[in-house]
Structure 1
């Protein structure tokens, strides 16, 4: 694929300069400039939504058979896979993530388009049970224009999880990528355009969430918002959506517990806990950032875990040996450091990490080391606030009721990890924990076929799974009268 001009944005199927200022993408590994990219204005939102409305209402798209639309999605998936190495390299430069992770995200996006295509081909409508002399059926139709707002920690994969089902449902999509990671979304737009998506069905509008995201949410012709990001922003979107009586899907923050049971395989648990909180440099909504360990084995277990965490390899995402890459941006690294400093002020004890790296190899990058804290109780701010970085707080617990009370003592309910050999205990605890996803003897595994979302302040609605396309449709009922006689109410007139 030819070198892309990121100064242009994709508005209603047209590449052109945006009405917003040019911004810089900074490589967090060394502070160098990756690219200058364009941003949108509110006027661009108006144009994108208008183009999307026309394209969604075009009989050629609205009347396209599911099989034909599925073939288009399959081609998009194949095109993403063929470009996966270039996508990975661009995303690593833009976000700092390791190449292994960014390639996996690209392949995840390709798989999402293929799964949604297969789902579309096999999705049937339903005849409902007759309750009179009528034939009744339930149909699903497109919403029209869908707004998709995606986060910076998993670009392209998050984009695909919203774009693919929304297009499959027959909608147009206006995508607002995160400000820190807009390059890959613009790359995806170029791939989708090249495959042959009808013009106007996709727009990609980088820019500030408070301006561009808000304009998309409040636009009268946007019929649904799918948002992944912070809980505070999610609440604002929900309030704006309520004023419009508009459906929303909100995948928000987390402060997920990861739980070691007394009978756990220690080596398996330690490896899983390390991966669950320190991979992606902790920049994950489902990171297992609160560790609960039985009090009798707490010191021994946490000691082994700390030694392993301190030995994790820190470096640039381009180094194949790197396990902990730089954070997405310098301001975010400093925010994480501020959380740790506040935790220390609350009385937390540092077991490893907890300070900027002194090694000159890391001086130019947004690095922060794997950090483990202990010595506080679950009501401490550092145990309650989402940090979104490589920071783990270790907490002891007594019996199962004490464990469940502490694990559920959080405004969040996104994910949980359990480490035990006893399937009965695993099932019982999985049902008692407030979380949308529970991993048992593993962590941070995903499948596009399995629904994902949270409870409490972690969100509303679900993505993925067999209902993924239905989530971007509106339901309609049809009644076919079978009685040849007129309705009796009007007889005798």
Structure 2
């Protein structure tokens, strides 16, 4: 049993009320860690510590010096990536191979934004007023709250912390109650990297008990949230009452669109990657497979055959392709949606229920599941399942593909598989999503914006523009006139 403490103001502390909660290994089904159960008092302590740190040593560093600290932070994460990845697997049950690749990539966020820290240049504006000098400067917002989901804890934290810290802000990080351990382990590395006390605070607990007090605290300037659509809506409503800035990355029902001229071998692999990677527990999952009718039946058979080869098992082993579902509520939700699809008349052509426990596993496993004969107005095609469940929908031509793809409350991502360059340009323009992948799927980078439209979120993360969401632009006016005009003489 591993016992953890929260990081507040540079000190490792228990929850003020002394309460704890447990983390369960999704593969073994056993409790492996105990964490502080934070509440409003802990939220207030963390925000006060962050606010104080924002007035202290951190604010006195040059932007270049901040960048040096962030680079050292990235170095520490890189040096401990294997340990952090194993902690994440123990917490969320994703494949070790995936989490190793992910955590080893995380330092790039800190390197990239470390380089941007001293590139936040203001502008001298050739203003239309005589004897006036006008310029702008970019200043940190203050205390920011980062709230992350359980499927990619450290990567999602990096999306928020790297640009926000580079801009000079301070943070309170509230990880998911299901996957808090890796965030706390990362907090130790922030200390080693030289991040001043209070610049990064980490509180653990449940959304209603500690997350909401963080969002509504009057000294908080911005909230960056990744999670469910309903959770994001609650954050948005609470933040609006305080007129706080928000970035929200929420759900998706992303279409993966395969045309008859596609490289079908590659498309099959892209479709399977889009829905079975991370056991389908990803916001960009390609959970709607749209296939041109002329190749529908043959392509579906190829997808089914490939999906059947996926090995369910221990996520720590290199040969495993499908791990357990991370949480019991999510497991029950996935099975519920499988039943909904069957009742709606969708034809289950693969899987369709719980998977038997692999050797040594006692956790929550779901069979890779594919539904054919799906209409886009069915719930299975409209609502986010967040599991290894694929809905297959035929289409005739580009116009129908776009109509089906865009007929969704979500607009996070889409995939297009075709060899026609003109079609690529038409489809990428016509799809109402924040991201479009062509002849590939699930690619992300610290260099490229990540975010959605409609109910998939507000704003975007990553890329050069992300740092601008963490600054206030100030306009400075200086008169060079020898004499101030008489205010009672106009004209």
The aligned runs of 1:278-297 (5 Å cut-off) are 278-297=276-295
**What CA distance in whole angstroms lies between the structure 2 residues aligned with 1:370 and 1:288?**
14
**What CA distance in whole angstroms lies between the structure 2 residues aligned with 1:362 and 1:463?**
39
Match among 259, 262, 278 for residue 260 of structure 2: 262
The aligned runs of 1:13-412 (5 Å cut-off) are 13-19=10-16, 21-58=19-56, 60-133=57-130, 134-358=132-356, 361=359, 364-412=362-410
Deviation at 1:445, TM superposition (A): 0.5
**What CA distance in whole angstroms lies between the structure 2 residues aligned with 1:318 and 1:486?**
73
Tell me the alpha carbon deviations over residues 132-170 of structure 1, each in whole angstroms, 9 at most, x when there is no partner: 222211111111111110110101111111112111111
The answer to whether structure 1 residue 449 and structure 2 residue 441 are counterparts is no
- Is the contact made by 1:9 and 1:38 (CA closer than 8 Å) also made in structure 2? yes
Deviation at 1:86, TM superposition (A): 0.5
**What CA distance in whole angstroms lies between the structure 2 residues aligned with 1:362 and 1:392?**
28
Q: How high is the TM-score relative to the length of structure 1?
A: 0.96
Deviation at 1:189, TM superposition (A): 0.7
**What CA distance in whole angstroms lies between the structure 2 residues aligned with 1:131 and 1:8?**
57
Q: How high is the TM-score relative to the length of structure 2?
A: 0.97
**What CA distance in whole angstroms lies between the structure 1 residues aligned with 2:97 and 2:76?**
19
Deviation at 1:361, TM superposition (A): 2.8
Superposed CA RMSD in Å reads: 1.5
Matched residue, 2:483: 485
Count of residues in Structure 1 that have an aligned counterpart in Structure 2:
488
Deviation at 1:276, TM superposition (A): 1.0
Matched residue, 2:414: 416
- Is the contact made by 1:7 and 1:22 (CA closer than 8 Å) also made in structure 2? no
- Is the contact made by 1:56 and 1:144 (CA closer than 8 Å) also made in structure 2? yes
Deviation at 1:122, TM superposition (A): 2.8
- Is the contact made by 1:141 and 1:473 (CA closer than 8 Å) also made in structure 2? yes
**What CA distance in whole angstroms lies between the structure 1 residues aligned with 2:73 and 2:173?**
16
Deviation at 1:25, TM superposition (A): 1.3
**What CA distance in whole angstroms lies between the structure 1 residues aligned with 2:328 and 2:71?**
38
Deviation at 1:131, TM superposition (A): 1.3
Runs of at least 5 residues in structure 1 that lack an aligned partner in the other structure: none
